[in-house]
Chains A and B, each alone.
Chain A
Amino acid sequence: MNLEFSAEDNAFRDEVRAFIEQNYPESLRAVQEEGEEMGKEDFLAWHRILANKGWVAPAWPTEYGGPGWTSVQRYIWSEECARADTVPILPFGINMVGPVIYTFGTPEQKAKFLPKTLNGDIWWCQGYSEPGAGSDLANLKTKAERDGDFYIVNGQKTWTTMAQHADWGFFLVRTDPTAKIQEGISFLLIDMKSPGVTVRPIITLGGEHEVNEVWLENVRVPVENRIFQENKGWTCAKFLLAHERTGIAGVARSKRGIDRIKSMARTESEDGTPLIRDSFFKRKIAELEIDLTSLEYTELRTLASESAGKGPGPESSLLKIKGTEIQQRITELALEAAGHYGMPFFRGFPEDGSNLPIGPDAAHRTAPTYFNMRKTSIYGGSNEIQRNIISKMVLGL
């Protein structure tokens, strides 16, 4: 047992910290500080810089373009990114479909998709959920019927994040309607520019356009775009879901979130006393910090067993549940700290020309962010489903 990082790890930390400081684009800082929705190029700017450096996909094997970092180095990297508040790398290509392709794909599929996924030329979206298949994902109805060298795909996907920018999507489709529910599913890569693909926005509570409906009408998909065997797509789906859950704890980002609340609590006062000295508020920050520390050491233990060669198991559900609960509480506290200035909503209202400031910058968008973060206990398998997984897979109940 040893909680210290090694000298090599500390040298690694210095190296990546210096790289971020020297290479993070100033233009992105400005966009982030505005607090408004980011465009496609804003998301890709940092991605491309890291791709050039060979650091964009920390978990990928070196033969596919990963940096060959240990799990502890990856952890340090994510900490340093959060510390510098960099734009997160979109997970759909790097964390989700990439590992599926290099694990299950053919040499041709790897050659066609992995380099462009790494360099940001392909923006991926995830075609999993359907109106009738949320928590019960295997109940999906989108069907793909074989027609020579093509599948003809028909159906509707929903909650498809950032599909409005996507070049390609990875879809779960039903190829055998007569098989048992999890056995007739295949994993297809679909060019989003194919005829018959329609993307419609879903506006969420904070006014954001993050998610979409994706309609598929007689979309012709070459059979060569199927990953792994026909009707064995559930294997890829399960593999991907486990990968999606690692890193979902978001410990480093949450540390940064708590720092922000502390800084708000230093400037926001009641009766001349800063909130940071208010016994009630202070206590809530302390409790949150302790919960985050518990999660951090649980994640480190998980990492340690991963480096010992064990893949992420159902324990990762614990990281998802606790991680998202903490992320949500951070946004609750930020809104609370904002006081009256949690109320103003700026978006979509014409400027009236007067210069009266609407509250401090830190209060801006605290409420929409709080609303938006309610999604975290719903997506990626709701927290109720995650508890079911632990109950069944870990406790054997």
Chain B
Amino acid sequence: MDFNFTDEQNMLRDTVAKFVQNQYDWDSRRAIVKSAAGWRPDLWKVMAEELGILGAPFSEDLGGLGGGAVDNMIVMEEFGKGLVIEPYLGTVVIAGGFLKHGGGAQSADLIGSIIGGEATFAFAYAEPQGRYNLADLTTTAKKDGAGYVLNGRKAVVVGAPWASHLIVTARTSGGQRDAKGITVFVVPTSAAGVTRRDYPTVDGLRASEIQFDNVKLGADAVIGTVDNGLPLIERVTDEAIAALGAEAVGAMRTAHTMTIEYARQRKQFGVPISSFQVLQHRMVDMFMHVEQSVSMTYMATLKLDESDDERKKAVSAAKVQIGKACKFVGQSAIQIHGGMGMTDELAVGHYFKRCTMIEGLFGSVDHHLRRYETLSLGEAA
């Protein structure tokens, strides 16, 4: 049993924390969200070249720093504190995860371009009808000579407006919700037949609706095994959830700290509102939620390489805790800030909005409660 970080990991945290502090202050983030592009490609270059963090979870022979899921957790937690919007999750955690575990002809090259900051990715998995079921796919990839032809529609693809590549889940055989018959592809965003409708999201990111019309893909576009992509998709999505949990922890901790500071300086009835017991207890409950979420994020992150069932159970348990915590901590932060919490001007509202979106990303509390129930108590329960 050891919950300590290595020296390298402590250095990584320090590097990312300093970056967020010095180059991602609140005014900078506000400007990024309002800008036409919606992100800062130049800061992405800084992450690649000066900080070197885009290689954190990749092995040294691929050009990375030799870390793993714990390193992603550290980066995501620090990014959560500053509500960093650049696509580390979509690119390093998710695309990186697919390329590492799934392999494929382009894998080594693409990992190289991720580490170098040249390629950014978005994960096109959700479909308008599918809700949180990763296997509910109407997007099809039909065999066409040596390659494939991709047709279909993807919903709310976060980070797609910035992405050079998409990771796309598609049906290569079987029925709409069959577990078998799913294959993962890497698709350049600029490929002929890819149409996007871009829009901002309520938490300051950008996303797209994406249509694929007869997009031609080579055989080398396949990641993992043809027709048996679901286990890979589930594994990488679980890794994404663990990383997202770390981001939530960072965001919740910051919202909690802001709330305590506000309650200390805000006076009503001649005293700081932090002296009211009803608010003290609420802030204590927020604290307990954050701590429990940290524990669950560690647990899930450390179990990502266990058996499929162990991993799924751990990740779903963590997502349930984190989803509930995001709601409680976010709502309480606003309530204790009073009217000020409702303003666009104060940062705390933006933490609340991001926490609210994290609640639903990759499955709501109910979705993961059900997955946990099935794994832990069996179908008959």
User: Most chain-B Cβ atoms within 10 A of its Cβ — which of A134, A345, A359?
Assistant: A345
Knowing A272-B177, A371-B356, say if A343 contacts B203 (CB, 8 Å).
yes
Chain B CB count within 10 A is highest, among A136, A280, A340, for: A340
Q: Are A336 and B353 in contact (CB-based, < 8 A)?
A: no
CA distance A128 to B13 in the complex (A): 47
Assign chain B's interface to a size class: 35 or more
Q: Across the interface, do B353 and A205 meet the contact criterion of CB distance under 8 Å?
A: yes
A72 to B195, CA, bound (A): 57
When C-beta atoms are compared, the residue in chain B nearest to A371 turns out to be B353
Interface 1/0 per residue, B120-151 and A, CB below 8 Å: 00000010111111001000000000000000
Q: Which single residue of chain B is at the shortest CB-CB distance from A365?
A: B202
Is A278 an interface residue when CB atoms closer than 8 A count as contact? Answer: yes
Bound: A343/B358 CA distance, A: 10
Q: Does A309 contact B (CB under 8 A)?
A: no
The size bracket of the interface on A is 35 or more
- B268 interfacial contact with A, CB 8 Å: yes
B283 within 8 A of A: no
Of chain B, the residue at the smallest CB distance from A328 is B331
Residue of A nearest to B360 (CB): A342
Contact present for A344 and B364 (CB under 8 Å): no
CB-CB under 8 A for A356 and B356, given A280-B366, A345-B202: no
Which segment of A98-106, A300-308, A377-385 sits at the interface? A377-385
Most central of A272, A343, A377 by chain B CB within 10 Å: A343
Q: Min CB distance, A157 to chain B, in Å?
A: 12
**A204's contact among B131, B199, B201, B343, by CB below 8 Å, is which?**
B343
What total of A-B pairs shows CB separation below 8 Å? 149
Bound complex: CA of A370 vs CA of B203, how far in Å?
13
Q: Given A204-B344, A280-B369, A343-B203, verify A158-B339 contact (CB < 8 Å).
A: yes
Is A374 positioned at the interface, with any CB of B under 8 Å from its CB?
yes
CB distance from A64 to the nearest CB of B (A): 33
A22 to chain B, nearest CB (A): 38
Decide if B352 touches A203 in the complex (CB within 8 Å).
no
A63, B99: Cα distance in complex, Å = 78
Task: Judge whether B268 and A359 touch: CB under 8 Å.
Answer: no
Chain A, Cβ-Cβ closest to B36? A350
Q: How far does the alpha carbon of A344 sit from the alpha carbon of B349 in the complex, in Å?
A: 17
Contact B200 A203 (CB under 8 A): no
Q: Give chain B interface residues in 172-214, CB to chain A under 8 Å.
A: 177, 195-203, 207, 209-211
In-complex Cβ contact of A134 among B197, B338, B344 (8 A): B338
CB–CB A270/B132 < 8 A:
yes
Contact A378 B199 (CB under 8 A): no
User: Is B345 located at the chain interface by the 8 A CB criterion?
Assistant: yes
**Chain B residue, CB-CB nearest to A275:** B131
Which chain A positions have C-beta within 8 A of B113?
none
Contacts of B133 in A (CB 8 A): 270-271
Q: A359–B342 contact, CB under 8 A? A: no
Asked if B225 is at the interface (CB within 8 A of a chain A CB), the reply is: no
Are B199 and A345 in contact, with the CB atoms below 8 A?
yes
Q: What are the interface flags for A251-286 relative to B under an 8 Å C-beta threshold, 1 for contact and 0 otherwise?
A: 000000000000000001111100000101100000
Q: With A203-B344, A343-B156, A374-B341 as given contacts, are A134 and B268 in contact (CB-CB < 8 Å)?
A: yes
Q: Are A358 and B126 in contact, with the CB atoms below 8 A?
A: no
| A341 CB contact (under 8 Å) in B155, B278, B369 | B155
Q: Give CA–CA (A348, B199) in the complex, Å.
A: 10
Q: Which residue of A lies closest to B337 (CB)?
A: A378
B101 in the interface, Cβ–Cβ < 8 Å?
no
For residue B119, CB closer than 8 A to chain A, the reply is: no
Contacts of A336 in B (CB 8 A): 360, 364, 366
Contact of A339 among B132, B331, B344 (CB under 8 A): B132
Known A345-B200, A345-B202; contact A354-B195, beta-carbon cutoff 8 A: yes
Closest B residue to A338 using CB positions: B360
A200 to chain B, nearest CB (A): 12
Q: Which residues of A contact B335 (CB under 8 A)?
A: 374, 377-378, 382
Contact yes or no, B136 A343, CB < 8 A: no
In the complex, are the beta carbons of A349 and B199 less than 8 A apart? yes
CB distance from B266 to the nearest CB of A (A): 9
Which of B209, B268, B356, B364 makes the CB contact (< 8 A) with A136? Answer: B268
Which of A135, A203, A371 is B268 in contact with, Cβ under 8 Å? A135
A269 vs B133: C-alpha distance when bound (angstroms): 10
B334 lies within 8 A of chain A by Cβ: yes
- A343 CA / B362 CA spacing, docked (Å): 12
With an 8 A cutoff between CB atoms, is A21 at the interface? no
User: Is B3 close to A, CB under 8 A?
Assistant: no
Residue of A nearest to B267 (CB): A132
| Binary contact readout B348-372 vs A (1 if CB under 8 angstroms, 0 otherwise) | 0100110011001000101101100
A382 CA to B344 CA, complexed, in Å: 20
A96 adjacent to chain B (CB < 8 Å): no
Q: Are A343 and B338 in contact (CB under 8 A)?
A: no
Residues of A within 8 A of B128 (CB): 341, 359
A358 touches B209 (CB 8 A): yes
Q: Does B279 contact A (CB under 8 A)?
A: yes
A367 touches B202 (CB 8 A): yes
Q: How far is B366's CA from A278's CA once the two chains are assembled, in angstroms? A: 10
Interface centre among A278, A348, A359, A367 (most CB of B within 10 A): A367
A160 to B198, CA, bound (A): 35
Q: Which of chain A's residues have a CB closer than 8 A to the CB of B278?
A: 384, 387
Chain B contacts of A379 at CB under 8 A? 339
Contact for B279 among A139, A359, A384, CB less than 8 A: A384
Beyond the given pairs A339-B360, A356-B196, A378-B342, 7 more chain A to chain B contacts, judged by CB atoms under 8 angstroms and listed by A's residue number, are A136-B268, A206-B202, A271-B133, A339-B132, A343-B201, A370-B356, A374-B334
Complex A-B: 26 CB contacts under 8 Å: A158-B339, A205-B342, A205-B352, A269-B131, A271-B177, A272-B177, A280-B366, A280-B369, A332-B327, A335-B356, A336-B364, A340-B126, A342-B202, A343-B207, A343-B357, A344-B202, A345-B201, A346-B199, A349-B199, A349-B200, A356-B195, A356-B211, A358-B209, A370-B356, A371-B202, A374-B352
Q: Which 3 A-B pairs have the closest CB atoms?
A: A136-B268, A270-B131, A356-B197
